[in-house]
Structure 1
Amino acid sequence: MQTQVSLSSIGRLINGTHENPSSILGIHPVDYRGQAAVAVRSFLPDAKAAWIIDTTSGTRRPMRQLHPGGFFEAICDISDDSNDAIDAQHHGSEDTASLDGEHEAAKNNTKYRIQITNRDGEMIDMPDPHSVPSILTDFDRYLIGEGRHHQLYDRLGAHLRTVDGTDGVNFAVWAPNAQTVQIVGDFNGWDGRAHTAQGSDQGIWELFVPGARVGDRYKFRVRDAHGQWIDKADPVGFAAELPPLTASIVADLSKHTWSDDEWMESRRDWNPMHEPMNVYEVHLGSWQQGGTRSHGWLDYRDLAKRLVDYCHRMNFTHVELMPINEHPFTGSWGYQAVGYFAPTSRHGSPDDFMYFVDYLHQNNIGIIVDWVPAHFPKDGHGLAKFDGTPLYEHADVRQGEHPDWGTLIPNYGRNEVRNFFVANALFWLEKYHIDGLRVDAVASMLYLDYSREEGEWVPNEYGGRENLGAIEFLREFNSVVHEKFPGVVTAAEESTAWPGVSRPVHDGGLGFTYKWNMGWMNDTLRYFHNEPIHRQFHQNELTFSLIYAFTENFMLPLSHDEVVHGKGSLLSQMPGDMWQKFANLRLLYAYMWTHPGKNLLFMGGELGMWNEWNHDDGPQWELLDFATHRGIQQCVADLNQIVIDNKSLHDLDFSHEGFEWVDAMNHQDSVLVYLRKSSDGSTPILVCCNFTPVVRQQYRVGVPAAGFWKEIFNSDSEAYGGTNVGNYPGVKSIGVGHHDRPDSIEITMPPLGVSIFRLES
């Protein structure tokens, strides 16, 4: 019998340019001598011979090779079920639209396999990829179209699958404007002609590849909207090659056996508003080096053990990782992501990263991950113009490109794009048990005119500068995260006066758990840059933060951004001679740790580094050979412990009831005194700060209750490298009212120091 497939269609198939290979390949109804039959067609470029195996009867039928390039066909009855399905359909040519339903019916009733002898003489038995049912259900497709498929990562990407006893991988990708999509990789010698995916009306291309396995490298070879071939990494790929290589890698995320049940259960009841939170911000690539991996990077397993030991020693409750998703340029620190679903291979495999998270949880350390949905790079293998069109990004550069960073801005108004990022956030929480997401560059998302001059931006539909799509995206992201993962926190790096960043969505807010207090950070560092003699004129730079401190749930950040790009290290930013620099840094930390809000410190800050942070070098651990730097480190460790041990220093971080000024007006002496309180009325904490190098003796401070006020911390302690001026072990009140309080104490205020007191009796 002569084939019903045109020679031009066969030619386009062999050349890899056919717009819809599934209209030819697989099982198709045909009219054979007036009788209903089926044609089974395969493109098998490596086959010398091929057969159809009827799995119902065991009958083996040869396929005819209709083209020397490897096009085979057999006309036969596959099974009674298949014939019944086909008989119910209209029969016509390959170009007839009504065949789509017949094709699906035939595929879903497939009971055959293909057997080939390859050019090496090996016999291979496999299911027909073009007759394997899709893993996408109608409901999946509906949710994707609505932008509400929160487990998108369970459908798109590369998933291990067994079909009729044959192991392989199911590949699926969204590329609605592509003319053709092939899967290329180690499993086919990077020749995708035999693995051209089947398209759908939604623009999702899918194919099961028998024999593909964990560890195989792959890409999607896309014939884009303009007819050009481009190789793209998998947007939902779970693993990636070590840069500068760019292929995705098939990974099995089910291998790891989690042992953090106790942590995960307790997290559900953990209240981020009232519990202590001391966060250590870490760049994994440079925190510690000397590993056996490329560039001396440590693997995730080694890092886990080292970080746990260090966090326990330093009393940090959480680690915040700078972006760990795959990124091509190490110098971007992870902020220009390509592999949104892949932990960077610089430190190991996905299973290794699961071990990292698991180990920290077993040792009671939480993990926050820096997440970057605000922009992505233009790298050719990434999301940029994925199918030859601005698919994930805006088409208009006034909306679609960041002028500062040279990166692209996601089109949050598109359902599929919004879905991609929301699902990505949930992926890290579900698959990797991450405890929080810090969202980078939120201000750039909220404002259409962010870093743009007049005429360089497009107003919203109401003529305003607010990015309505981004606002809706952030609200959806926070709502879904908090609903599905109780106890998980979200934090916004947001530097403007946008209202309600950390207020619930149902109250009109954006829904974040915390907002980074960039105003506090800028004002405080600016104040500390002043020589002490001039600080009396800048007292308001410290007191101003308490005017708005409870309008949001603030986290106080001294992050990596404060020690890069020529700013110098925190220690080098402090004024004065050597002694004053160290004293000022201890003063800064003690003031920060007792100020309302959760605390975050970037790695190296606890060492008193001299050098600005460099991602190639990391912290100056060798400085711990010097007592002054060991003193800074011990000071930070003790401050962390004091916050943990004293409810008044963490219970009401976000309520005015947790803070009370005792003396905010003594700008002549550059002194601040305040109380921190808890919700249960337990012992308040008294904090006395002296921002000058002048010792204040017999300084009277009003206290709310009589008794012995124990000095539980003194930043000028010899243990920290100070001069040991203070009030050890404490002071007893003297029965004289002061500062509008019924009693008072007389203390010695250490130079450039902070004394913290707690009422003992």
Structure 2
Amino acid sequence: MKYDEEKKKIEFDAHIFHEGNHFRSYSFLGAHINDDGVSFRVWAPNAKGLSVVGDFNNWDQNSHRMEKVNDFWILQIDGIKKGEKYKYVIETWSGEKLVKSDPYALYSELRPNTASIVWDLENYSWNDQEWKANKKSYEPYKNPMNIYEVHLGSWKKPQGRENFQTYRELAEELPKYVSEMGYTHVELMPVAEYPLDDSWGYQGTGYFSATSRHGIPEDFKYLIDELHRYGIGVILDWVPGHFCKDAHGLYRFDGTTTYEYSNPLLGENEQWGTCNFDLSKREIHSFLISNAIFWMKEYHIDGLRVDAVSNMLYLDFCKESSPELKNKDGGNQNLWAIDFMQKLNTEIFKEFPNALMIAEESTSWPNVTKGKKENGLGFNYKWNMGWMNDVLKYMELDPINRKFNHNLITFSIVYAFSENYVLPFSHDEVVHGKKSLIEKFPGYYVDKFASLRLLLGYMMAHPGKKLLFMGGEIGQFLEWRFYESIEWQLLELEKHRELQEFVKNLNFFYRKEKSFWEIDHSYEGFHWLEANNNDCGVVSFMRKSEERDDFIIAVYNFTPVHYSKHKMGVPRFVDYEEVLNSDISKYGGEGRVNLEILKPRWGGVDKELCHIEINIAPLSVIYLKPKF
């Protein structure tokens, strides 16, 4: 009788799943522990037959055969418990037998092993009630957001061990460090289970399974709990566009293109050696949106950075043009992907109104952070890849040539408020021969440190939220290596300690000053003071808060020339005080600062009616505040 009731329930779930509206599909698919044992359910619509194998039946493909209900295969196995390893053996109509991990597994074997493990997520008591209560009134647009991007496997490697820090070990150090450095959020590179370390987590197999490299699911919950206890929001890097082709994963799951597009021009992702999810299938909508909600509900994740959005949006992304790569209107936009993203964001914000949904979208696709009514995709943030590319290209130039490329440092304001942006210096910019941040800059050893302080000071005052990949804050000279720890030993050297101190103080300065983030998405919060001084290489602007008298003037010298009495326009005839200077000695500079109050004088410079004279060190950033 109980089994008949279960089949009826599956019929109901199946209807919603096929409609693309089952946003808790993990609640009925996968392996679920019950009073008698474990219920197994898997979607494999085109399979000829399925069985469950594991240690409990000596991996015998014939002992536990599943029954097909609708497009799902089900089986109750009594007497087995949490911790049992299992897989599905799928018999195809061509006679193949595929041995697959469970797409909905909650836990997986440590690579190179690939079995799923029966688990539940009930055996953990959360302690982040205060965090959750505060989040109800959190408004991301009017609050600081300074993100520390972390690859858990290489943040710190345990001494004398070849494996990784556990989630518990990370929880002892990472939250404290991030908090002490003044960051507001961490962004964790993909933690959903993946087979190959070299993929950094971007080629996944277990979308509902936190990687076993660092421990069990309860331990990952503990890490998030500790981050919340320290007041740190947690953003998860999420990969809904493509998946790896390993035999035990989603690839040709039931012998057919179950999860990927059937047309190889759409399904095969040759640039990454992966397969693209078929976003035209409503079942894939149910799978992926369920997964996004799963991480937020079950693991208390605060937001998702959605990877490779452009790859989903364009039918011909990184491909040769073809008539087959056109939509019904003749364009190259993937209308299925647009529909999926609009639905994804609608459902996320319906259940988690203050979530962060951040698109890594590398083209000029319009309205990424606008709603469906405005033909938008519905995200609330987008990485500003244009700003990142321009500013790094500019900083890599020999200073003598920067005056011929001045627009690279100023053009971003033209479009800075067209979307809600995050300014990213991510892991992608410090690998594959691109060099580490500090090694990108020309000049001598001390010039590189000065340039990095300048770059980070420019990012901090520029409109948009902030993101820095781990290692950048200590001036790591080597490119990031996923198999090695950050070069923490560099902090034994004075220049690296001084840089870290600068980043820490800069982070806390940003958090304290409302003018840097209160009006972050509107021209009302920004005013150019000096934008066109190509020859001099000095740039300055004002950032404003909602209070009329609360503003900061940010001044940048992108040349190695010292200007002891630089004349610059100011917006108000009031005294000004230097509140931050990257050239002070404790940050590794030479102390060319403005100790005295800066008195304004009448007389126009640029479009301002009054001006000050200011001492600006080479390759430095200065912040000024008015004294009323």
2:12 pairs, out of 105, 118, 139, with 139
Please report how far the alpha carbon of residue 698 of structure 1 lies from its aligned counterpart in structure 2 after TM superposition.
1.7
- TM-score by length of structure 2 reads 0.98
- Confirm or deny: 8 A CA contact 1:157 1:173 kept in the other structure: yes
Partner residue of 2:144? 276
Match of 2:171 among 304, 308, 314: 304
1:197-596 matches, within 5 Å, as: 197-201=66-70, 203-290=71-158, 295-455=162-322, 457-596=324-463
Match of 2:561, SS state, is: coil
User: Cα distance, 1:265 vs. partner?
Assistant: 1.7
Task: Name the larger-Rg structure.
Answer: 1
2-structure distance, mates of 1:510, 1:682: 37
Distance across 2 between alignment mates of 1:282 and 1:200? 43
Paired residue type of 1:260: D
Amino acid of the structure 2 residue aligned with 1:256 = Y
1:2-13 equivalent positions in 2, closer than 5 A? none
Counterpart residue number, 2:46: 177
Deviates more, 1:375-384 or 1:497-506: 497-506
What does the per-residue CA deviation read over 1:122-146, in whole Å, with 9 as the maximum and x for residues that have no partner?
xxxxxxxx66734835432221121
- Contact between 2:176 and 2:230, CA under 8 Å: does it hold in 1? no
Q: Which residue identity does 1:666 align to in structure 2?
A: N
Q: RMSD in angstroms over aligned alpha carbons?
A: 1.5
Of stretches 736-745 and 348-357 in structure 1, the one that deviates more from structure 2 is: 736-745
SS at match of 2:62: helix
Contact kept? 1:145, 1:416, Cα under 8 Å: yes
User: Residue 269 of structure 1 contacts residue 486 of structure 1 at CA under 8 Å; is this kept in 2?
Assistant: no
2:89 touches 2:98 (CA, 8 Å); kept in 1?
yes
In 2: Cα distance, 1:247 partner to 1:157 partner: 13
Q: Is the 8 A contact 2:381 2:419 kept in 1?
A: yes
Question: 1: CA distance between counterparts of 2:324 and 2:162?
Answer: 42
Other-structure match for 2:534: 667
Q: 1:735 Cα deviation (Å)?
A: 4.7
Whether contact under 8 Å (1:291, 1:298) holds in the other structure is no
The equivalent of 1:76 in structure 2 is none
Counterpart in the other structure of 1:155: 28
Counterpart residue type for residue 426 of structure 1: I
Label 1:639 to 1:171 Cα distance change in 2 as closer, same or farther (>3 A): same
Aligned-partner Cα distance in 1 for 2:151–2:159: 15
Contact kept in structure 2, 1:528 and 1:574, CA below 8 Å: yes
Query: 1:650: how far off?
Result: 0.8
Amino acid at match of 2:388: M
Mapped contact 2:11–2:69 kept (Cα < 8 A): no
Structure 1 counterpart SS, 2:162? helix
CA contact (8 A) 1:398 1:456 kept: no
* Shift of residue 220, structure 1, vs aligned partner: 1.0
- Structure 1 residue 679, shift from structure 2 partner: 2.2
- Distance change (3 Å), C-alpha of 1:730 and 1:434: farther
For structure 1, the residue ranges without an aligned partner over 5 or more in a row are: 1-106, 109-129
- Report deviation, 1:536: 0.9
Secondary structure at the residue paired with 1:544? helix
Structure 1 window deviating more from structure 2 (700-709 vs 375-384): it is: 700-709
Superposition misfits of 4+ residues, deviation over 6 angstroms: none
Indicate whether 1:703 and 2:565 are aligned: no
**What SS is found at the alignment partner of 1:701?**
strand
Distance in 2 between the 1:133 and 1:367 partners?
A: 37
Say which of 583, 589, 613 aligns to 1:746: 613
- Per the alignment, do residues 658 and 214 of structure 1 end up closer, same or farther by CA in structure 2, a change over 3 Å counting? same
Deviations 1:185-214 (A, max 9, x none): 12222224332111112x111111111211
**Residues 369 and 378 in structure 2, CA contact (< 8 A), matched pair in contact too:** yes
CA distance in 1, matches of 2:441, 2:299: 40
- Contact (CA 8 Å) 1:291, 1:297: kept in 2 or not? no
Cα drift, residue 407 of structure 1: 0.5
Counterpart mapping for 1:26-37 below 5 A: none
Q: Contact 1:711 / 1:758 at 8 angstroms: preserved in 2? A: yes
> C-alpha distance in 1, partners of 2:325/2:405?
40
State whether residues 219 and 232 of structure 1, in contact with CA within 8 Å, keep that contact through their aligned partners in structure 2: yes
| Cα distance change on mapping 1:430 and 1:291 into 2, 3 Å | farther
For residues 155-214 of structure 1, the C-alpha deviation after alignment (integer angstroms, 9 at most, x for no partner) is: 10011112xxx3x1111000011111111112222224332111112x111111111211
Q: Distance in 1 between matches of 2:28 and 2:434?
A: 45
Return the offset for 1:577: 1.2
**CA apart distance, 1:573:** 0.7
Out of 594, 597, 620, which is 2:487 matched to? 620
Looking at structure 2, the residues matched to 457 and 482 of structure 1 have their Cα atoms a distance apart, in angstroms, of 35
The CA distance in 2 between the partners of 1:135 and 1:431, in whole Å, is: 26
TM-score, scaled to structure 1: 0.81
Amino acid at match of 2:41: A
Query: 1:33 matched to which residue of 2?
Result: none
The residue type equivalent to 1:241 in the other structure is E
Q: Which amino acid aligns with 1:465?
A: N
CA distance in 2 between counterparts of 1:646 and 1:620 reads 31
Is 2:546 the counterpart of 1:679?
A: yes
Q: CA deviation at 1:742?
A: 4.1
1:714 and 2:587 are equivalent in the alignment = no
Offset at 1:708?
3.0
Letter of the structure 1 residue corresponding to residue 532 of structure 2: M
Cα deviation, residue 458, structure 1: 2.3
Taking the aligned partners of 1:421 and 1:680, their CA distance within structure 2 comes to 43
The CA deviation at 1:537 is 0.8
In 1, are the aligned partners of 2:10 and 2:69 still within 8 Å (CA)? no
Q: Is the 8 A contact 2:463 2:521 kept in 1?
A: yes
Q: CA deviation at 1:736?
A: 4.6
* Mapped partners of 1:504, 1:526: distance in 2: 33
Deviation, 1:326, is 0.4
Question: Which protein has greater RCO, CA pairs closer than 8 Å, 6+ apart?
Answer: 2
Say whether the 8 Å CA contact 1:225–1:387 is kept in structure 2: no
Letter in 1 for 2:105: G
Inter-partner Cα distance in structure 1 for 2:452 and 2:216: 39
Mark the CA change 1:458 to 1:705 in structure 2 (over 3 Å): closer, same or farther.
Answer: closer
Look up the equivalent residue of 1:210 and give its one-letter code. Answer: D
The question of 1:690 aligning with 2:563 is answered no
**Distance (whole Å) between structure 1 residues aligned to residue 8 and residue 162 of structure 2:** 40
Q: Quick one: which amino acid aligns to residue 522 of structure 2?
A: S
In 1, the alpha carbon distance for the partners of 2:312 and 2:416 equals 24
Q: 1:204 and 1:291, CA in 2 relative to 1: closer, same or farther beyond 3 A?
A: farther
Q: 1:381 to 1:291 in 2, by over 3 A?
A: farther
TM-aligned CA deviation for residue 705 of structure 1: 2.4
Distance 1:205 1:616 in 2: 40
Tell me how far apart the structure 2 counterparts of residues 303 and 226 of structure 1 sit (CA, whole Å). Answer: 47
* CA–CA separation in structure 1 for the residues paired with 2:298 and 2:281: 25
CA contact (8 A) 1:699 1:747 kept: yes
Take 2:147 and 2:310, find their aligned partners in 1: how far apart are those partners? 22
Residues of 1 paired with 2:367 and 2:4: CA distance? 52
